[in-house]
Amino acid sequence: MKKIKKFRIKARPSFVLRGLRALMENAQPTPELEKAVESEGENAVALYATAAVYETVDRAKSSPWMEPLWTAEPETGAVPVAVTFFVATIGPGLEEELAAALTRGEGLRSQILTALGEESAEQAANFLTRLVGDEAKEEACELSPRFNVTVPELQRQILLLLGSDKIQIQMDNVGHLSPRFTKIGHLLWWPPSKRRKPTEKK
């Protein structure tokens, strides 16, 4: 298990606006709204307490609940050589700012902070994905796209595997994550493409 903290992330304003449109039922952004998103994004940097833990597991050390992940590629018949499980968070700071905004009745700002928090958590997971991608290259492997895990039962298994309490990430009895803006997922390690030849059709 590896742990990293205080890595830098930057939320993408265009993606924050996209999330905001979903929260606001596709309301069109105005110049004022775009400026507010940029301002909140700049202020959020001081609130981040980024952290992540991850572990790469090969099939020999696999647990029964991981079995579905070792599925062969339909076209090549290749199977993953390893799986990296991860949890990444931006910490509680932005969530606390959101709670304060809700208490003050700041509806629009609350929606901006919510969209910003989701995008920031996405960037934390993207940072972790790039890091693991470099490790995979060192082993002459290729990394799959990131799979976000949203099923509470599987989230609990991954949190337990990683000992996520080491970076103060927990899940309550009804499946709520704390801190809220946290991503859990996995990445598959594949052998290089040149070693994954298409299976012959009979």
For the chain, what are the domain ranges? 2-195
Greatest C-alpha distance within the chain: 67
Q: CATH number for the 2-195 domain, one of 3.40.109.40, 3.60.20.10, 3.30.70.1060, 3.30.300.180?
A: 3.40.109.40
Return the bridge partners of 68, or none.
none
pLDDT by residue, tens only, the chain of 202 residues: 999 999 999 999 999 999 999 998 877 888 999 999 999 999 999 999 999 999 999 988 899 999 999 988 888 888 999 999 999 999 999 999 999 999 999 999 999 999 999 999 999 999 999 999 999 999 999 999 999 999 999 999 999 999 998 899 999 999 999 999 999 999 999 988 744 454 444 4
How much is the pTM? Answer: 0.90
Which residues touch 149 (CB under 8 Å, ≥6 apart)? 155, 158, 184, 185, 186
CA–CA separation, 92 and 113 (whole Å): 13
Return the bridge partners of 66, or none.
none
